[in-house]
Structure 1
Amino acid sequence: MAYDNICKYLAERFPEQFARWLMGEVAEPVQVLPTELSEEPMRADSVILLGLQQGILHLEFQTDPDPEIPFRMADYRLRLYRKYPQLSVRQVVIYLRKTRSQRVFQTFFRLERLSHEFEVVRLWECNLPARVDWPALLPFRVLSQVEDPGETLREVVAELERLPESSEQRELAAATAVLAGLALDRGLIRQIMRSLDMRESVIYQEWRAEALREGLEAGRKEGLQQGLQQGLQQGLQQGLQQGLQHGEATLVLRLLRRKLGSLDPALENQIWALPPSQLEALGEALLDFHSVEDLTAWLARR
């Protein structure tokens, strides 16, 4: 399961917590709206309705900077207006992995007279709540502004262990394990999170299935590449051997013709069929030949 898909899952399951984190107190009810914004297939990460007529919170999660994000946010905004013209919209792009790229600071789209602005959140600059009453944000804490991601992960595990509901604990643990991979070694993650059972979670199962697919595809590509390299190497070796044999045969035939005169085509075919080692031996032996019969006798001993 891709990192942004995990974030989408969390936003859909805990929309109120994301709204409170980014906007403060919000009126109830808070609900997730359909993310497909037009007849054309274009789907937002998360679209949350904030209370009755209070507005919409539109979230986009990005692992790494994308130069198309400003245009996409403008496009999403127009589509939201087409579908919900009476509601105000607050748009936020949440960047997950720390980067030095200046793209994570871009908050607008400009095209001639068209201008659109949106907000950005860089997780590595955020101080996220470390309390179990904000479970939706626990998987993001390792990526936030912390001094020691490994120690932070241990704190998150302790908070997850306090959750009373087992299915919620499994899903949040799996999300934490996957997202922590953006900051920590997988071996360390497994060591710290070994007390939590997440094997039955939806996130874990999809993540394992995706990892398996990626592994199979990588194996297929690696096997194909190795096959191509091996075939190329074998082809080059065979080509060199054939070139060496052809050159040796040409030289030997030229020397034989100068010493013995024209040769019978059948004898020439026999010489063409000799391997390089025997051609080299023939090249030495022909110095002692006095007639075609000497050549015929030599070939008969091969």
Structure 2
Amino acid sequence: MAYDNLCKFLSEKYPDRFAAWLLGETPDSVRVLKTELSIEPIRADSVTFLATRDRILHLEFQVKLTTEPPLSLRMLDYWVRLYRRYRSPITQVVILLKPPSDDRQIETCFQVERTRHEYQVMRLWEESPEGLLQEPALMPLACLAAADRPEQLLRRVVQEVSKIEAEELRQEVYACTQVLAGLKFSQQQIQQIFRSRSMRESIVYQEILQEGREEGRQQGEVAIILRLLNRRVGEIPVEVQEQIRHLGIPQLEALGEALLDFATIEDLLRWLEAL
């Protein structure tokens, strides 16, 4: 599954946490808006729209700066469509998960002649990890935050995850952290750190230790995809869940992209039949 789609999953499951983090205050209520806007529909795969009482929060998770259409144009397009529909103030935040590999300038606005539209850009690698570590829903992002000693930060994130009392939440955050860590750390580093003493009580850790890291990654992908499918098309029958659990990682990654176009359970069944 794409890294930005994983972030979309987290922000839509825990919208109040993300809204409080990015707006600097805890809103009275937060709801997730549909990610398809009128006129010509946009498939907003790595985008989350949250509505607080008096503001729309538009989150755009990005790994690569080069997109088509360009990111700055998309931000303007989203703003116009959102404002036309909701007539409410809009805060747009692009969350960059990984620094660019070259010296390319990171744009913070769209400008052509007299048309100018600005939006916020958060460079996650420049952000302090402290606030992220206080909230389980944000912990997976902490491993990509600023650190003089990145490996030490990742170990700290893993330690904080191990303290989560709710078993299901702990497993979910653990899996998401492991996936996002792949943006910054080598597989060898991840393997060593996630097998540290602090995680020996984790059920997920025991599964990875016994079945191998590849199997652990597969289980993490399955858990996230099943949750996304439940949000997208409703409850998934047990037999279909079992079929998904037996998919390999390449097939799971393909399903993670394809499910963005699903509207009903029948769409999922047709996709599985086509394998």
TM-score strictly above 0.5: yes
Secondary structure of 2:7 counterpart: helix
Cross-structure match for 1:211 = 249
Secondary structure of 1:143 counterpart: coil
User: Contact 2:222/2:252 (CA < 8 Å) preserved in 1?
Assistant: no
Cross-structure match for 2:33 = 33
Does 1 or 2 have the higher relative contact order (CA < 8 Å, sep 6+)? Answer: 2
Q: RMSD over aligned Cα, in angstroms?
A: 2.6
Cross-structure match for 1:175 = 176
Secondary structure of 2:250 counterpart: helix
CA distance in 1, matches of 2:126, 2:179: 20
CA distance in 2, matches of 1:214, 1:138: 24
Q: How many Å apart are 1:122 and its aligned residue?
A: 0.3
1:76 aligns to 2:83 (yes or no):
no
Cross-structure match for 2:65 = 65
CA distance in 2, matches of 1:14, 1:205: 14
With over 3 angstroms needed to count, the CA separation of the structure-2 counterparts of 1:187 and 1:100, relative to structure 1, is closer
CA distance in 2, matches of 1:94, 1:202: 22
Residues 224-271 of structure 1: per-residue CA shift (max 9 Å, x gap): xxxxxxxxxxxxxxxxxxxxxxxxxxxxxxxxxxxxxxxxxxxxxxxx
Secondary structure of 2:57 counterpart: strand
With over 3 angstroms needed to count, the CA separation of the structure-2 counterparts of 1:214 and 1:165, relative to structure 1, is closer
Residues 105-142 of structure 1: per-residue CA shift (max 9 Å, x gap): 31111123322110100011100226754112211112
Q: Give the greater-gyration-radius structure (CA).
A: 1
With over 3 angstroms needed to count, the CA separation of the structure-2 counterparts of 1:173 and 1:104, relative to structure 1, is farther
CA distance in 2, matches of 1:172, 1:210: 22
| Residue type at the aligned position of 2:32 | V
Q: How many Å apart are 1:39 and its aligned residue?
A: 5.1
CA distance in 1, matches of 2:248, 2:3: 12
Q: How many Å apart are 1:24 and its aligned residue?
A: 0.8
- Give the alignment's TM-score, normalised by structure 1: 0.64
5+ residue gaps, structure 2, are 205-215, 227-244, 255-275
With over 3 angstroms needed to count, the CA separation of the structure-2 counterparts of 1:210 and 1:149, relative to structure 1, is farther
Cross-structure match for 1:123 = 124
With over 3 angstroms needed to count, the CA separation of the structure-2 counterparts of 1:116 and 1:169, relative to structure 1, is same
User: Contact 1:74/1:116 (CA < 8 Å) preserved in 2?
Assistant: yes
Cross-structure match for 2:160 = 159
Residues 162-191 of structure 1: per-residue CA shift (max 9 Å, x gap): 111111111111111111011111122123
User: Contact 2:132/2:138 (CA < 8 Å) preserved in 1?
Assistant: no
CA distance in 2, matches of 1:36, 1:176: 28
CA distance in 1, matches of 2:251, 2:95: 27
Secondary structure of 1:164 counterpart: coil
User: Contact 1:131/1:159 (CA < 8 Å) preserved in 2?
Assistant: no
- Give the alignment's TM-score, normalised by structure 2: 0.69
5+ residue gaps, structure 1, are 217-302
CA distance in 1, matches of 2:251, 2:132: 36
